[in-house]
A and B are shown apart, each in its own frame.
Chain A
Amino acid sequence: MKYLIASALIGLLPLNAGATAIEEAPWAPRAAAYRLSLFMANLTPVPWDKIEKNWTAPAPGSAVAVEALSRVSDRDARNIRAALAAEDRQALFAAATTALANGILKHLEKAEAMLGQPEAAFEVAQASALYRAFEDGILAADKQAARDLGRAWLVLNSSLGSSGVLGNGAQDADPVRFAKAQAVITEYIEASYLPTSFAERSKLTPLPETAVRAGTAAVLPATLPPGSNIADQRDLPRLVLQFEEAGEDEANLPLVAYGDMLFDSPEIFGYPARDLGIACSTCHNRSDVNRDFFIPGLSSHAGGMDVDSSFFNPMFNDREDDHLDTPSMRGIRFTAPYGRDGREPSLRRFVRNVIVTEFAGAEPTPFQLDAMVAYLRVFDFLPNPQIDQAGRLTDMASEAAKRGEVLFNTQFAGLGDRSCASCHTPDRFFRDGRAYDIGSAEPPFPGGTATAFDTPTLRNVNFTAPYMHDGALPTLASVVDWFNETKGLSLDAEQRADLTAYLQAVGDGEEPYQRFEGRDSVFRLSWEELTTFASTLDTLIPLRDAANIAVLVDTVAPDLAADASVMTNQSAKPEIYKFAAILRSVGDASAAGDWAEAGRQWEVFKTMQDEIDGRMF
């Protein structure tokens, strides 16, 4: 539930968010282009066409829809263009860093010239927005410099003066104080970001040149580029768990609850996914798809990414820019095999593949795999009264859908004398468990064999746009058009509309999104889920399973505290921090082998849970 926080957090933050996914404030166009360029130039192979677009078109994550190149000096623009044309990483780094540093200094000069006027504040804000692109690099390399510079920015803003409101509340500018602070920033930027030449870099980072040349050991926190969105989608999918619908409580199913926790835990992944707070649920949001997920350079559009790029696990890099659309996991126990290409026969192997291969995690234990599979196996489809158990339309379906059902079951020569239903078999959840080359992917080389893809289910497909393995088709109607054209089905417009209506009927689902109202808030959902995760301690403490307790505590305690920021009842926020600290004490005691203390703290936790439950919304 870590990511619920982001879906409700409206405040936009200027700094790196740490392990909790939040939405970032938009970036200044030049700063966005710079950070995107660094991120993408570190990918293998380097996507030069995308890097160029960061400068020549409005960049992802940019506050204003202008080309970054239009905001740099002619000379800096020439240097950036030359580096892009030469596909020279080092030259690009030098040119882009210089352009940004020059921008900071120029805005400060303008501010100084306009002191006492509102424009001065605007110029300082512009300079500060560019400085943001260097800020984490400076902090990682030299904390004292970061502090001195931070104070200098405060002084700049404080010495601008204010004209008040028609003279009321006016404050004089302080040019001397402004000039001193400006000098601090200017000297640092000139020394660290405007050197005569830049040292060669194997990895492009915003670390200051002075630190790089001095060989300063600096650890930059993992970051994603501007325009990234790994927060939960705004309309949170409704999660249908079999046992819940049947009236059972997850707290009574510790294996499922622990698997649920692991599904929400970045702790099982390796760097950088873990440090970025990415978990299974980041993409497979509440068993469905996070349609907003997007990482520039890795995603060609929202709702998926190239999972085998060099970023998350260089060992798994296939050196192809091949975006994969994230599949829904609803009803997943019915939809083997797994992976878009159906390469994994079992859920267990697929989960291990995601943890170890895609996201560079340590080998999961058999217990962890058991738990995750136990959890995944209770995902159900959204109920859909328009179809019966055999996948036939019911009377609730429209006449158009019923005409479409006939077409769906009609054999076509272009389909090899098969029907749509031959593969999307209605009484097998509209899939057949086999993989086909239907012409949706190009062969890897002329004469080569194209990848075959697993037949996806059509259940609840209304909520998983875009479609096909690479998300190339935006709507179900476009999917019908694609088959009609590429397979020569010769369907007229009315027939295509009927077939689309049929897909929409079988792909529908009741109450697809979670509703929040009053005390039934985003935080309440998070509270219930996180305390359910914690309930597995009733099982783990008697087993003295310190390793799994550590994973649980490292996941749940920070999430509890982080999710407090979206509480409707903000006055109860301090209680959550205390509550999370008690859980941390359980983890500390179990790590120390003090099982009596672990048990005592766990009882304290449960007592407090009962006491504060009514205020947790």
Chain B
Amino acid sequence: MLSRRNFLTTAAAAVATPALASAGQGLKLAFIPQENPEKLLGDIETITAWLSQELQVPVTGFVTFDHAAAVEALRNGDADISFMGALPFVLAEDQIGAVPLLSEVYRGQPSYAGRVFVRKDSGIETLADLQGRDIAFADPVSESGYLYPLDLFVREGLVADAGDADRFFGQKFFAGGYQQAMQAMANGLVDAAGASQYADLYLTPEQQAEIRVLGESEQIPSHAIIARPGLDAALQARFVEAMLRLNQAENRYLLAYLYGPDGYVAADPKVYDGVRQMARRYGYLK
């Protein structure tokens, strides 16, 4: 999850509209911007060119503002397929019937965890010690950057629900992304950060040596590639086959153009059950 997208904190504009995607009969991919949207635009060109060749249909791509815009694009047909985190996916599934096609693999796993980090010199030893202290999460619509780390406090009986978190913590911030949350913690602006298990890699090596993990959530399905409902089943299947060919040695260099996972596996809709339950528990799903 090292170079994962930051949902609401794009570093620069360069946000295209769906209208830039081909209006023809090909496949339209929606990408979520990460720290460098311009790089993403270049990446899209490379990956869509390869997919066009593999699928023998025109494949185009565009960058959306955020996950919400990507889901909106899937709903109104401006996009056929989108890259998506597990939480926004289950929300999209609920709203428009989006289907998961592929899951990213990082460090050999199609899953990861959320963690609560503190500075070693903070004197904080347990989650309970964070009562009345300040915490920075990444974003309210983030599984590893909010819900799963928050759930650690709920499971320990420290917090009743999301609303109760404001009572437990001194102040609860949404810093805008993993990196901002981790920097706020490492620089002493807050006492703790809730973020992806790999978010410490956003810190300098010196900062990494000065922090510790206070808690780790259950495993979360990794980011997914999802499709709008009604997308031609044969085209979907061919897309999945093509993407799985990225795991082959001769194609692996292309993964660097796709948020840098180690590879992909076909998605199993059941693995999102935990995320669905989590979304319901915290009021994200009815």
Binding site for B on A (CB under 8 A): 5, 9-15, 17-20, 22, 25-26, 28, 63-65, 118-119, 121-122, 124-126, 129, 147, 150-151, 154-155, 157-158, 160, 162-169, 171, 558, 561-565, 568, 570, 573-574, 577, 580
**Bound form: Cα–Cα A39–B48 in Å:** 40
| Interface assignment of B26: CB less than 8 Å from any CB of chain A | no
- Tell me if B91 and A166 are in contact (CB < 8 A): yes
- Tell me if B176 and A124 are in contact (CB < 8 A): yes
Q: Who on chain B is nearest to A165 by CB?
A: B91
**Bound form: Cα–Cα A126–B37 in Å:** 13
| Interface assignment of B222: CB less than 8 Å from any CB of chain A | no
**Bound form: Cα–Cα A580–B206 in Å:** 12
| Interface assignment of B183: CB less than 8 Å from any CB of chain A | yes
- Tell me if A25 and B35 are in contact (CB < 8 A): yes
- Tell me if A26 and B206 are in contact (CB < 8 A): no
- Shortest distance from the beta carbon of B235 to any chain A beta carbon, whole Å: 24
**Bound form: Cα–Cα A565–B201 in Å:** 7
**Bound form: Cα–Cα A160–B141 in Å:** 13
Q: Given A150-B187, A164-B68, are A564 and B35 also a contact pair (CB < 8 Å)? A: no
Q: Given A165-B141, A166-B71, are A10 and B10 also a contact pair (CB < 8 Å)? A: no
The stretch from B1-9, B49-57, B125-133 touching chain A is B1-9
| Interface assignment of B75: CB less than 8 Å from any CB of chain A | yes
Q: Given A25-B11, A65-B38, are A17 and B204 also a contact pair (CB < 8 Å)? A: yes
Chain B 245-286 interface residues, beta-carbon cutoff 8 Å to A: 260, 279, 284-285
Q: Given A12-B35, A166-B71, A168-B91, are A22 and B65 also a contact pair (CB < 8 Å)? A: no
Q: Which residues of B contact A562 (CB under 8 A)?
A: 205-206, 209
Q: Which residues of A contact B136 (CB under 8 A)?
A: 154
| Of the residues B2, B94, B279, contact of A10 by C-beta under 8 Å | B2
**Bound form: Cα–Cα A17–B207 in Å:** 9
- Tell me if B140 and A162 are in contact (CB < 8 A): yes
**Bound form: Cα–Cα A151–B187 in Å:** 11
| Interface assignment of B88: CB less than 8 Å from any CB of chain A | yes
- Shortest distance from the beta carbon of B109 to any chain A beta carbon, whole Å: 12
- Tell me if A158 and B173 are in contact (CB < 8 A): yes
| Of the residues B174, B175, B189, B202, contact of A147 by C-beta under 8 Å | B189
- Tell me if A155 and B11 are in contact (CB < 8 A): no
Q: Which residues of A contact B38 (CB under 8 A)?
A: 63-65
- Tell me if A168 and B206 are in contact (CB < 8 A): no
**Bound form: Cα–Cα A162–B285 in Å:** 16
Q: A121-B176, A166-B96 are in contact. List 20 more A-B contacts (CB 8 A).
A: A10-B3, A14-B183, A15-B183, A20-B205, A64-B14, A125-B9, A150-B184, A154-B173, A154-B180, A155-B173, A162-B140, A165-B88, A166-B91, A168-B284, A169-B279, A562-B209, A563-B205, A564-B208, A564-B209, A568-B107
- Shortest distance from the beta carbon of B120 to any chain A beta carbon, whole Å: 9
- Tell me if A118 and B65 are in contact (CB < 8 A): yes
Q: Who on chain B is nearest to A574 by CB?
A: B212
- Tell me if B205 and A561 are in contact (CB < 8 A): yes
Q: Given A10-B3, A19-B206, A577-B209, are A169 and B8 also a contact pair (CB < 8 Å)? A: no
- Tell me if A168 and B14 are in contact (CB < 8 A): no
- Shortest distance from the beta carbon of A425 to any chain B beta carbon, whole Å: 41
**Bound form: Cα–Cα A151–B252 in Å:** 42
Q: List 25 A-B contacts (CB under 8 A).
A: A10-B2, A13-B202, A13-B204, A22-B204, A63-B36, A64-B14, A122-B15, A125-B11, A126-B12, A126-B13, A150-B184, A154-B136, A154-B175, A158-B175, A163-B68, A165-B141, A166-B68, A166-B71, A166-B75, A168-B94, A561-B206, A562-B209, A564-B205, A574-B212, A577-B209
Q: Which residues of A contact B15 (CB under 8 A)?
A: 122
- Tell me if B174 and A9 are in contact (CB < 8 A): no
| Interface assignment of B179: CB less than 8 Å from any CB of chain A | yes
Residue-wise interface mask of B (116-156) relative to A, using a CB-CB cutoff of 8 A (1 in contact, 0 not): 00000000000000000000100111000000000000000
**Bound form: Cα–Cα A119–B10 in Å:** 10
- Tell me if A168 and B35 are in contact (CB < 8 A): no
Chain B 68-99 interface residues, beta-carbon cutoff 8 Å to A: 68-69, 71-72, 75, 87-88, 91-92, 94-96
| Interface assignment of B223: CB less than 8 Å from any CB of chain A | no
**Bound form: Cα–Cα A100–B66 in Å:** 27
- Shortest distance from the beta carbon of A333 to any chain B beta carbon, whole Å: 34
Q: Which residues of A contact B175 (CB under 8 A)?
A: 154, 157-158
| Interface assignment of B230: CB less than 8 Å from any CB of chain A | no
**Bound form: Cα–Cα A17–B208 in Å:** 11
- Shortest distance from the beta carbon of A369 to any chain B beta carbon, whole Å: 30
**Bound form: Cα–Cα A125–B176 in Å:** 9
- Shortest distance from the beta carbon of B95 to any chain A beta carbon, whole Å: 4
Q: Given A20-B206, A118-B68, are A162 and B8 also a contact pair (CB < 8 Å)? A: yes
**Bound form: Cα–Cα A125–B7 in Å:** 12
**Bound form: Cα–Cα A166–B97 in Å:** 12
- Shortest distance from the beta carbon of B255 to any chain A beta carbon, whole Å: 12
Q: Given A25-B11, A25-B35, are A165 and B139 also a contact pair (CB < 8 Å)? A: no
**Bound form: Cα–Cα A470–B96 in Å:** 61
**Bound form: Cα–Cα A396–B93 in Å:** 62
- Shortest distance from the beta carbon of B104 to any chain A beta carbon, whole Å: 14
- Tell me if B204 and A18 are in contact (CB < 8 A): yes
- Tell me if A164 and B187 are in contact (CB < 8 A): no
Pick the 6 closest A-B CB pairs, nearest first: A562-B205, A165-B91, A157-B176, A168-B91, A121-B8, A166-B95
- Tell me if A165 and B68 are in contact (CB < 8 A): yes
- Tell me if A162 and B205 are in contact (CB < 8 A): no
- Tell me if A122 and B141 are in contact (CB < 8 A): no
**Bound form: Cα–Cα A15–B107 in Å:** 26
**Bound form: Cα–Cα A25–B173 in Å:** 23
**Bound form: Cα–Cα A126–B14 in Å:** 12
Q: Who on chain A is nearest to B34 by CB?
A: A12
Q: Who on chain B is nearest to A26 by CB?
A: B36
Q: Who on chain A is nearest to B139 by CB?
A: A162
- Tell me if A118 and B204 are in contact (CB < 8 A): no
Q: Who on chain A is nearest to B14 by CB?
A: A64
- Tell me if A165 and B189 are in contact (CB < 8 A): no
- Shortest distance from the beta carbon of B107 to any chain A beta carbon, whole Å: 8
Q: Who on chain A is nearest to B8 by CB?
A: A121
Q: Which residues of A contact B200 (CB under 8 A)?
A: 565
- Shortest distance from the beta carbon of A482 to any chain B beta carbon, whole Å: 33
Q: Which residues of A contact B65 (CB under 8 A)?
A: 118-119, 122
| Of the residues A18, A20, A118, contact of B69 by C-beta under 8 Å | A118
**Bound form: Cα–Cα A563–B96 in Å:** 45
Q: Who on chain A is nearest to B184 by CB?
A: A154
- Shortest distance from the beta carbon of A231 to any chain B beta carbon, whole Å: 12
**Bound form: Cα–Cα A337–B7 in Å:** 57
Q: Which residues of B contact A160 (CB under 8 A)?
A: 8
- Tell me if B205 and A22 are in contact (CB < 8 A): yes
| Of the residues B2, B66, B190, B212, contact of A118 by C-beta under 8 Å | B66
Q: Who on chain B is nearest to A155 by CB?
A: B173
**Bound form: Cα–Cα A19–B206 in Å:** 8
Q: Who on chain A is nearest to B202 by CB?
A: A11
Q: Given A26-B11, A121-B9, A564-B208, are A157 and B189 also a contact pair (CB < 8 Å)? A: no
Chain B 178-207 interface residues, beta-carbon cutoff 8 Å to A: 179-180, 183-184, 187-190, 200-206
| Interface assignment of B67: CB less than 8 Å from any CB of chain A | yes
Q: Who on chain A is nearest to B213 by CB?
A: A574
Q: Who on chain B is nearest to A154 by CB?
A: B173
| Of the residues A11, A18, A63, A165, contact of B71 by C-beta under 8 Å | A165
- Tell me if A28 and B12 are in contact (CB < 8 A): yes
Q: Which residues of A contact B96 (CB under 8 A)?
A: 166
